[in-house]
Amino acid sequence: MFFASDNGSGATPEVMAALARANDGYTRGYGADDLTARVTAELRRVFDAPDAVVHLVATGTAANALALACLVQPWQATFCHRHAHIAEDECGAPEFFSAGAKLVLVGGAHGVMDGQALANALETTGGSVHGVQRGALSLTNVTEAGTVYTPAQIADLTALARAHGLPCHLDGARFANALAATGATPAQMTWQAGIDVLSFGGTKNGCLGVEAVIFFDPAKDWEFQLRRKRAGHLFSKNRYLAAQLDGYLQDGLWLARAAHANAMAARLAAGLAQMPDIHQTHPVQANVMFPEWPAGTHDRLEAAGAVYYRYPAPTGREGARLVTSWSTTEADVDAFLSALRG
């Protein structure tokens, strides 16, 4: 009954197998190996983006912060949701990598950026030399609230940014779950919706630790490579990052794994919906949910062996964050629901 995070799961069998395959023999270092080339080609194919620049790093924070540093100058601002991972959960990585660029926090219910709020923030930023200038837009899909943007919603927000000439970044730590939830293609969710650079997550959906940064415009290729090296994020044995994605992308299994995680969340949410005293803070659309329940429930669940994060519910009741993953089983879900029923 582990629902603390999808990063608490192990790696999928196909990822582990790819890793073992990649361990054979000698290769050139720093990404000049055949496996890195193959994975690059495969991602270009998956995204229908033959000119995309693809580089691998090991963590989501590195992917986001390096990508954004290529988009904003130190005296500019990145517009992001008030509860974005880059704002709340990266210990200031965007500021560090960008030499001090600001984040301008934009509101919106259920983790989804409000278009009017973004328009206002864009309008009141920049212009004179006294304030920071408009730099970039960053969205997250799946959002921190577990909700999912459709490609059309993303396109609406990026259009506002583009009207001011701003480039747009998508934090896709749970990108596969967002695709599985919407049925959108990778291209539809990204460059066709106005996204210039994507943090394509692998870690949470069954890798050990790998994210691809995908620039749909190749202009930033060399700058990114220099920033990655300078930040200590260039692996000498890059084949082991590539190998993870090799296994991840194999036979489209990455989408199947995410669809499974979403299905387990739906099963869990359906069970919770049956219980009169339990309410979801946000709509459940992918593999993360935030139920609220009566006082005493936490203690009871934990005594039964459930593992998850306690979360402050806006209503003051007991709140929880529950996350399913590729390895969550129906039995896990049912045991949790059973423990909840008491």
User: Is residue 165 close enough to count as binding a copy of itself by CB under 8 A?
Assistant: no
Amino acid at 179: L
Contact letters for a copy of itself, residues 225-254 (x by CB under 8 A): xxx-xxxxxxxxx--x--------------
In the complex with a copy of itself, which residue's Cβ is closer, 5 or 185?
A: 5
* Smallest separation, CB 180 to a copy of itself (Å): 21
In the complex with a copy of itself, which residue's Cβ is closer, 73 or 150?
A: 73
Q: How far apart are CA 299 and CA 308, in angstroms?
A: 12
Figure out which of the listed residues 107, 115, 209, 283 binds a copy of itself, where binding follows CB under 8 A.
Answer: 209
Residue 341, token pair as written in the block: 């029923």
Where does residue 32 rank: exposed (0-12), middle (13-18), buried (19+ CB within 10 A)? exposed
The CB-side HSE value for 221 (13 A sphere, CA atoms) comes to 8
Task: State CA 249 to chain mean position distance.
Answer: 17
Q: Which stretch binds a copy of itself (CB under 8 A): 45-53, 126-134, 264-272, 334-342?
A: 126-134
DSSP character string of 257-286: HHHHHHHHHHHHHHHHHTSTT-EESS---S
Q: Which stretch binds a copy of itself (CB under 8 A): 68-76, 139-147, 282-290, 292-300?
A: 68-76
* Smallest separation, CB 101 to a copy of itself (Å): 7
User: Is residue 147 close enough to count as binding a copy of itself by CB under 8 A?
Assistant: no
Could you say which residues in the range 17-46 bind a copy of itself, by CB under 8 A?
A: 19-20, 22-30
In the complex with a copy of itself, which residue's Cβ is closer, 52 or 67?
A: 67
User: Is residue 75 close enough to count as binding a copy of itself by CB under 8 A?
Assistant: yes
Task: Using alpha carbons, select from 167, 152, 147, 178 the residue that is nearest to residue 81.
Answer: 147
Strand order in the sheet with 76-81: 53-57, 211-215, 197-201, 168-172, 133-140, 76-81, 102-106
User: Is residue 89 close enough to count as binding a copy of itself by CB under 8 A?
Assistant: yes
Task: Using alpha carbons, select from 197, 172, 250 the residue that is nearest to residue 49.
Answer: 197
Largest CA distance in the chain: 62
Figure out which of the listed residues 35, 43, 49, 62 binds a copy of itself, where binding follows CB under 8 A.
Answer: 62
Q: Which stretch binds a copy of itself (CB under 8 A): 4-12, 143-151, 184-192, 274-282?
A: 4-12
Size of the site for a copy of itself (CB under 8 A): 73
Residue 205, token pair as written in the block: 């959906």
Amino acid at 292: E
Figure out which of the listed residues 40, 59, 140, 281 binds a copy of itself, where binding follows CB under 8 A.
Answer: 59
User: Is residue 223 close enough to count as binding a copy of itself by CB under 8 A?
Assistant: yes
- CA angle at residue 86 from 84 to 89, to 5 degrees? 90
**Beta-ladder partners of 322:** 289
Q: How far apart are CA 103 and CA 92, in angstroms?
A: 10
User: Is residue 81 close enough to count as binding a copy of itself by CB under 8 A?
Assistant: no
Figure out which of the listed residues 102, 220, 282, 321 binds a copy of itself, where binding follows CB under 8 A.
Answer: 102
Could you say which residues in the range 302-341 bind a copy of itself, by CB under 8 A?
A: 307, 327
Figure out which of the listed residues 129, 295, 303, 331 binds a copy of itself, where binding follows CB under 8 A.
Answer: 129
In the complex with a copy of itself, which residue's Cβ is closer, 28 or 45?
A: 28
| Chain position carrying tokens 């000439």 | 165
Which runs of E-coded beta strand occur in 216-331? Answer: 279-280, 288-289, 291-293, 309-312, 318-323
Figure out which of the listed residues 34, 92, 116, 294 binds a copy of itself, where binding follows CB under 8 A.
Answer: 92
In the complex with a copy of itself, which residue's Cβ is closer, 58 or 155?
A: 58
